[in-house]
Chains A and B, each alone.
Chain A
Amino acid sequence: MLEPKRLTVENDPLHIIKTRLQTHGRPATISGPMVRYSKLPFRQLCHYYNTDITYTPMILAREFVRNRNARIADFTTNLADSPVVAQVGVNNTTDLLRVIEMIGPFVDGISVNCGCPIKEQVREGIGCALIYNEDLMVDMVKTVKCKYGSRLRLEMKIRIHEHDKPLRTLRLCERLCDAGVDWITVHGRLKSTRSSQPVDLNAIKYIVDGLKGKNVPIVANGDCFTVADMERIQSFTGCHGVMSARGLLSNPALFAGYNKCPWGCLERFVYYCVEIGGLPLQLILHHVYCMMENMQVMRRYLKQIMSLSSIIDLILWLETNFEFSRYGEEGFGARVDVPYRK
């Protein structure tokens, strides 16, 4: 019988979230779950650039516990991928207990996705549906914590029910705290809010303030694209951690203080993809596209990326058009500006 991975001050996400303000003078830095995108090479890249905790993409519990192919496609990890939180999409406590038992020995925490607004999931009672099924959420937390106590970290990632002073959300959070949740991530948008709308920091602050007596940290999520955003979000809301998703997708070096993705980050990403393997080509190219778009690489280059037909072609294309270093070569990972070849 395997036990959940052992938690130490190095890998316990709760410890990190609770202590970063004191030890580092900044909130814990967290990369958000992103279906398709937050896979191992990307997470390792975020860790390299000062992200304290990373999340896997949402893993559907029902598939994971029944289907080998789903497991192989959905989950990979390595020693450098820590602390990592496995995020699950789930609509019942039995599947949750099973997925935790299976994957718990290989990750540092579990997150339940209570924020995904995609119709197919909401219809199944997964994602955002859960914030309207408060009793089920509370049952999930109680049952998991009753079985594992502090040997396993459990987070709930939620959206808010209404703007400004979301009382229903606060009441839900209070119940989750009483049930033993380790921390809560609040994405300050409604089920129906598009990500182009600004995040509601008042609502997050309202929840942080309302939970002051509970000793359960809150992670604020939404619209963090720079370190300045991170600082502003923290000082406004009083949260313990800041999670970024789209910001890191286009600039994985965000939390290291780069306002634009540095060239070296792209070199490192290609290196990790090559070393780890397993990422579909289109996904690699999309990451490269997002980073290069963030670097404001000339459009005529951007247009070519998505039609490259293998990772080898990508490397050759980078070497033809830019000064691109492979791992071990001079300058690898160090350049900041785009080094166009003349």
Chain B
Amino acid sequence: MDVDRTVPKNVTTPVTLNNETGEVIVKKASGKIKVRTGQTVEDYLDQRSQFWLTDSKECTNLNMGWMSENFDIDALLSSIDTLKSSKHERQRIIDYLAWLFYYNNNNNNREFSQLITDKIIPVFNDINTELKGKIKKEVTLLERLSKLNTDANTNNINTKTGGNPEAMSI
């Protein structure tokens, strides 16, 4: 039996112009035809070796316990330029704090707070000044986290809307 092979109007048939680079023609919303430029073989090979040799070491080894073995907070805090330009890198610091916090229930709260106040906040404050206040929220979060005291169970839980710890425990 023959099959109806109609392509619906709003569906694009991409047409490859160059097999070596992957350059294709596609349709824009307006109906206009648009060329999606290809990628040279050289660029592809560069990207591939960057991924294989460097990036994949990090993104494919996130096994349980990796932070206790491989996380170098001092190295991260000293790469100011990277922290300045990458929210992702700054987030790694918050992730690390969450990890410390998770395992330090009722212990080492002092150390946890000191790490934040002595080492992390100064770096974030500098970056915040350079970025003209753009990461103020992150600094505020750090300041609050440094004051957490889980021992006494007087949790300073914060929400973006309320922020009143009393209101949070129902």
Contact = CB atoms under 8 A, between A and B. Distances in A.
Interface string A183-198: 0000000010000000
Nearest to B61: A78
Contacts of B26: 91, 123-125
B55 A275 contact: no
Interface string A117-133: 00100111100110011
Interface of A: 2, 40, 62, 65-66, 68, 71-73, 75-80, 91-95, 98, 101-102, 105-106, 119, 122-125, 128-129, 132-134, 136, 167-168, 171, 191, 271, 274-278, 280, 300-301, 304, 307-313, 315-317, 319-321, 326-329
B157 A275 contact: no
Nearest to A279: B95
B59 A91 contact: no
A308 B159 contact: yes
Contacts, number: 194
Given A80-B64, A102-B52, A129 B11 contact: yes
A276 B101 CA distance: 14
Contacts of A129: 11-14
Interface string B141-170: 100010010100001111111100000111
Given A72-B59, A278-B62, A119 B39 contact: no
B65 A275 contact: yes
B19 interface: yes
A311 B98 contact: yes
Given A102-B48, A132-B11, A307-B160, A93 B59 contact: no
Given A277-B92, A307-B162, A68 B50 contact: yes
A75 to B, nearest CB: 6
Contacts of A271: 102
A275 B92 CA distance: 12
B128 interface: no
A95 B67 CA distance: 34
Q: What are the 7 tightest A-B residue pairs by CB atom distance, in nearest-first order?
A: A125-B14, A94-B22, A277-B95, A307-B159, A91-B14, A316-B155, A125-B12
